[in-house]
Amino acid sequence: MKDTTLRNPAPGAHRSLFGHLPDGRAVEAVTLVSSRGISATILAYGATLQSVIVPGRDGVLADVTLGHATLQEYLAQPQYFGSSVGRVANRIAGGRFILDGQNYQVPCNNGLNALHGGPGGFDKALWTILEVAAEPEPRVVLAHVSPDGDEGFPGELRVTATYALRENGELAIDYAAASDRPTLVNMTNHAYWNLAGEGAPGGAMNHVLTIPAEHFLPTDETAIPTGEFALVEGTPFDFRTPTAIGARVRDASHPQIRIGTGYDHNWVVARERSAAPRLVARLVDPGSGRSLDVLSTEPGVQFYSGNFLDGSSVGKAGQCYRMGDGVALEPQMFPDTPNRPEFGSIRLAPGEAYRHAIIFRFGAEG
């Protein structure tokens, strides 16, 4: 009988070949391993978080992020599983915005709107691996150059993504960018989580979620925020106390649940960016005890309950991903910020440095 028990390689940083793009370019993978039995595998394609293996309360390892076993599957059916998305994460209404008095039109790849940087966004780029190191902590640094006019956005944007695995159970992601012209930047990581294991048959709807936010952003029927900062109190959007996702994900009495076919909204943890990462969400799987704290320097977090996973994507464990089999918690600036001055600004000028620090902190409750 085949032994399917997950095992991590020796602590450190391990570089390997993951596959080849249709034009022949090699796509490498880097696996970071801590001495605590945690590992993270990052692909150069899309600076993608392909695997995160962590122990539960019983010490058994599980891969807790959705993704594919082969590069061909990522190419055949893009789902943003673990991708680094940009230049602008989430949606821009109509793909239109005004920057410094000039009108711009970027591709609409999500119905009437632009999503996650467009059809040729950062998730579909082959990033360059700049550095792989085992000390002082396992890490990989990837880089991407987005030329002026890429997907309709102005300015040459130089981006780096640094993944570092810490001994305290944290996977840190730092996004940095600089531009030679005023442009827009709002990057995030689009990992989907199932803390029971990405192939677990029960899905993630029994996970207990906490989001420390008093407001969320209602949307129109195309998932564009209306501009209202709505109170979560008394609604299915109140996760200030730990609540099972499945308890209210199908509560059709609330019009926003009907619009999103579940949760696909941005929660307002704060109104401004912060210098240091702060808690924006906490996720716990009662069965395994695995927990995930999401910390970020950005003020919003998009919670998506996997409403449109339809069974057509096959995960690493050989299981079809269905509705609710994973959830995304994407820290970011608010959707459609370029068209909503009240949301703040994602403008990046020459000489300025963009930075978004994310921490995924893993643990196990007794």
pLDDT band with cut points at 50, 70 and 90 for residue 365 = confident
List, for residues 269-304, the tens digit of each pLDDT value: 999 999 999 999 999 999 999 999 999 999 999 999
Check residue 2 and give its pLDDT. Answer: 35
pLDDT band with cut points at 50, 70 and 90 for residue 7 = confident
Q: Is-contact 87 121, C-beta < 8 A?
A: yes
As a whole-number percent, the residues of the chain with pLDDT over 70 amount to: 99
Q: Is-contact 324 205, C-beta < 8 A?
A: yes
Q: How far is CA 169 from CA 17, 36, 362, in A?
A: 26, 8, 5
Structure tokens at 311: 């069974």
Check residue 5 and give its pLDDT. Answer: 64
Across the range 160-177, mean pLDDT stands at 97
| Alpha helix segments (H runs only) across the chain | 71-76, 255-260
Full set of structural domains in the chain with CATH? 12-364 (2.70.98.10)
Active site residues: 190, 330
pLDDT band with cut points at 50, 70 and 90 for residue 37 = confident
Across the range 35-55, mean pLDDT stands at 96
Across the range 95-116, mean pLDDT stands at 98
């055949």: which residue's tokens? 76
For residue 142, pLDDT beyond 90: yes
């703040």: which residue's tokens? 344
For residue 9, pLDDT beyond 90: no
Across the range 176-191, mean pLDDT stands at 98
* Phi, psi values for residue 71, rounded to 5°: -65, -35
pLDDT band with cut points at 50, 70 and 90 for residue 366 = confident
CA dist 328 and 320 (Å) reads 17
> For the chain, what is the mean pLDDT?
96
Q: Is-contact 282 359, C-beta < 8 A?
A: no
List, for residues 202-247, the tens digit of each pLDDT value: 899 999 999 999 999 999 999 999 999 999 999 999 999 999 999 9
Across the range 242-255, mean pLDDT stands at 96
Across the range 154-159, mean pLDDT stands at 98
């803390």: which residue's tokens? 195
List, for residues 64-101, the tens digit of each pLDDT value: 999 999 999 999 988 999 999 999 999 999 999 999 99
Across the range 301-313, mean pLDDT stands at 94
Return the half-sphere exposure (C-beta side, CA atoms, 13 A cut-off) of residue 279: 13
CA dist 234 and 128 (Å) reads 47
Check residue 3 and give its pLDDT. Answer: 39
Report the SS3 class of residue 323. coil
